[in-house]
């Protein structure tokens, strides 16, 4: 059996590279929200949590830009992989002429924990817990409380974000391939600061 190790240093270096080249930015629009969801990405829904937003911009769509402000940090332990990400959620209202009007920015400290496994032929992942703490860092519509927003975000994470990530993680991604070599019965073991991949090899001429 051959063993390969991926340290959390390698994972964090990859995160740093993605941060530096701007790959950790995501745009969220209402058409990305599940059709069956009663909560929509518009001023009518979010205005229930931020009254002045609904008053200033009634019945308008919104767009969110989630942007990391610091490279993510990942720590591999014996039982789980823990991660932390600092970022911003920048909110815009989509005006009738299709231009965007900036309304506010929330600072986010997101923490999560998960496991890594294997489902032939892919490495898989599963998020077991996730949380996000919010702060209001900038606003163009006046100050507002996060007392109602934080519970809504917690529900959104549990009902939307975690299932979405786990769906992606269940599909996984393949082990790096080597020409002429086939991996047989690979297994993944978490250890302190390292993910160990063990596998038998078969030469395929």
CA 153 to CA 137: how far, in whole Å? 17
CA 177 to CA 182: how far, in whole Å? 8
pLDDT tens per residue, range 138-149:
999 999 999 988
Average pLDDT over residues 168-176: 79
Strands 81-94 and 2-7 turn out to be unpaired
CA 69 to CA 85: how far, in whole Å? 8
pLDDT tens per residue, range 29-81:
888 877 777 788 999 999 989 999 999 999 999 999 999 999 999 999 998 99
The answer, as to whether pTM is greater than 0.85, is no
CA 173 to CA 195: how far, in whole Å? 15
- The full set of domains in the chain, from first to last, is 8-170 (3.15.20.10)
């Amino acid at each position: 059996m051959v063993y390969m190790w991926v340290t959390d240093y390698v994972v964090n270096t990859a995160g740093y590279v993605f941060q530096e080249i701007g790959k950790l930015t995501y745009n969220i629009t209402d058409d990305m929200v599940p059709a069956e969801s009663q909560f929509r990405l518009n001023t009518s829904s979010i205005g229930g949590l931020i009254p002045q937003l609904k008053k200033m911009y009634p019945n308008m769509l919104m767009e969110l830009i989630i942007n990391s402000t610091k490279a993510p940090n990942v720590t591999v332990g014996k039982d789980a992989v823990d991660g932390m990400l600092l970022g911003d959620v920048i909110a815009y209202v989509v005006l009738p002429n299709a231009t965007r009007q900036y309304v506010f920015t929330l600072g986010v400290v997101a923490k999560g924990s998960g496991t890594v496994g294997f489902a032939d032929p892919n490495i898989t992942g599963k998020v077991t817990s996730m949380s996000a703490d919010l702060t209001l860092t900038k606003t163009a519509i006046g100050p507002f409380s996060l007392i109602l927003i934080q519970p809504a975000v917690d529900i959104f994470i549990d009902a939307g974000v975690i299932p979405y990530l786990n769906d992606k993680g269940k599909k996984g991604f393949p082990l790096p391939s080597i020409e002429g070599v086939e991996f047989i019965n690979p297994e993944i073991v978490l250890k302190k600061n390292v993910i160990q991949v063990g596998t038998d090899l078969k030469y395929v001429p």
